[in-house]
Structure 1
């Protein structure tokens, strides 16, 4: 078990609630280590195989999960290891967003999540999921240039000042980032291909996100629903907005939060949004450096990134239930916006 003591909700009181359900699992013996600096989890798990440990339990947020994935799988430029030779992964969410573990079907509440996880471990219920790569690194949920990366960089600045990264602060930062992007939109060039041989190309897109599952969220109850066909069993999905000016552009951006999933405003928004599913390779480029993010971690400013989908990359303990369709009414979205506030 790897614990990140700097996770948003982690405390000694929480550990006293989390550990007993795990200790109650017969034949489970835990070796516990704490992370002490960035990339420490990646260093801990680097080179481990299932002969060393059957399971790695991560008690932390999305950053800790991303580090563990990159440590286990190594450089994405090399041959991908067989998932059956690697320790299985399990996650107990104690971060601020907990995007991946929630996308896998767990509650964001760590106490609720650990009770479900303990039953899955007892019954050995796991699944193998796809992962994405960017250049020589791995990601589990999403990656992209522009708007989302700008939001995460601003949230990092807020956290450096000692404020918690709450859904409300994410929302406020996102609103300001959309305003800046509408005044000075980035230009992202996209080239993608699917395993079936389909091609996709578009230049000067102001908003474009690549996701590995659907839906995912960093705004509490508000799901970020981009491509309804996407899941951890498919390739990467791309979602973009070709023009973010005016009312149509605003509606296109609001698709990120599940607005108009019923396509009531379809006549206004269709011309502004684009999507491409089951992508195996994606190349993103910008004429000038723009911020890039992967799994909620700001990776600095880049001009070119190559993304790739890797099927059956890692085995995780997670419910095997089918993914629920992403259907939301405008009333439900407005209700959850109010809940975030």
Structure 2
């Protein structure tokens, strides 16, 4: 088996020594080329070349969810083709590692490497569905190319929080869960649209839902983790179905307290609900529009401001070693 290992040297939970150990462990079982990323988007470029070469059987992403997202977008740059494209394996090295943990992999990089080697030996794999987001035709964003996401996308409030976290990281702060919590609180206090949402949710065959403040698109469950605690924004979301949406039309102090409590207590059977909550399961196509440009994020990566985003749920998009 020929494999490419894409290594993010800035992965927050692995040291250089640990990465060397993992590389040697993988290289002992396959013909491995290990490449360290040098710039934003490098993982995408490496995976794209691997997909185009026709010579690589497996691409391993060692890093956080951002690294995985880049690799996935490189593999799928010409569209999904599970029978032709290299398989994907993920060694978690970030602060949260939602995609790897949603696949059932250990959150420890060494343990996850062992699990991947066991899966390769037993030929254990699954084909997962993914989400695709692109600019909406007929809007100012119609030229924005499509981009794949593995576990979630957000438009509005939660994307604003991601943007604040990235600003703090650029100032030298580490990406930690307390940092995210602080930015959620600060964004809540300063967010101008929390009482009057600007987002409209449109899908075929249904009336539009207007004035949303929060719109979280989930491709799997849990949506994210707070330390070791899984948070289920859309409990029914799955790699085997289309996309799910959780929308909130109110972010008053009582509403935030209620929904935050529901998230912290959420389970695989029950997530946030209530008078100001919109939940929709298993969608193939829908659009989120806004009266004003709002922040947009995918897999925890802030992508700037958008006025409209069209989403597509693509079943059986990529083979993953688990």
- Normalising to structure 2: TM-score of the pair? 0.88
Match of 1:166 among 176, 179, 191: 176
Give the 5 Å matches for 1:154-303: 154-181=164-191, 184-185=194-195, 186-193=197-204, 199=206, 201-259=208-266, 270-303=274-307
179 and 107 in structure 1: CA distance in 2 versus 1, 3 angstrom threshold? farther
- The secondary structure found in structure 1 opposite 2:310 is strand
Match of 1:6 among 10, 14, 17: 10
Give the 5 Å matches for 1:18-33: 18-25=22-29, 28-33=30-35
Question: Residue 194 of structure 2 contacts residue 250 of structure 2 at CA under 8 Å; is this kept in 1?
Answer: no
Alignment gaps of 5+ in structure 1: 319-341
Match of 1:68 among 51, 66, 71: 71
Match of 1:310 among 314, 317, 321: 314
Aligned counterparts of 2:248 and 2:126: Cα–Cα separation in 1? 33
How many pairs are equivalent? Answer: 305
Aligned counterparts of 1:237 and 1:262: Cα–Cα separation in 2? 14
Aligned counterparts of 2:8 and 2:257: Cα–Cα separation in 1? 38
Question: Residue 189 of structure 1 contacts residue 205 of structure 1 at CA under 8 Å; is this kept in 2?
Answer: yes
- The secondary structure found in structure 2 opposite 1:316 is strand
Tell me which residue corresponds to 2:93: 94
User: What are the superposed Cα offsets for residues 180-199 of structure 1, whole Å, 9 maximum, x if unpaired?
Assistant: 34874442100124xxxx63
Alignment gaps of 5+ in structure 2: 135-145
Aligned counterparts of 2:227 and 2:194: Cα–Cα separation in 1? 28
Aligned counterparts of 1:258 and 1:129: Cα–Cα separation in 2? 27
When the two chains are superposed, the root-mean-square deviation of aligned CA atoms in Å is 2.3
- Normalising to structure 1: TM-score of the pair? 0.83
User: What are the superposed Cα offsets for residues 131-186 of structure 1, whole Å, 9 maximum, x if unpaired?
Assistant: 10111111111112111101111110111111110111111111222333487444
Aligned counterparts of 2:7 and 2:189: Cα–Cα separation in 1? 38
Give the 5 Å matches for 1:48-59: 48-49=51-52, 51-59=54-62
The alpha-carbon deviation at position 243 of structure 1 amounts to 1.6
238 and 141 in structure 1: CA distance in 2 versus 1, 3 angstrom threshold? same
Give the 5 Å matches for 1:89-128: 89-128=88-127
Aligned counterparts of 1:58 and 1:279: Cα–Cα separation in 2? 28
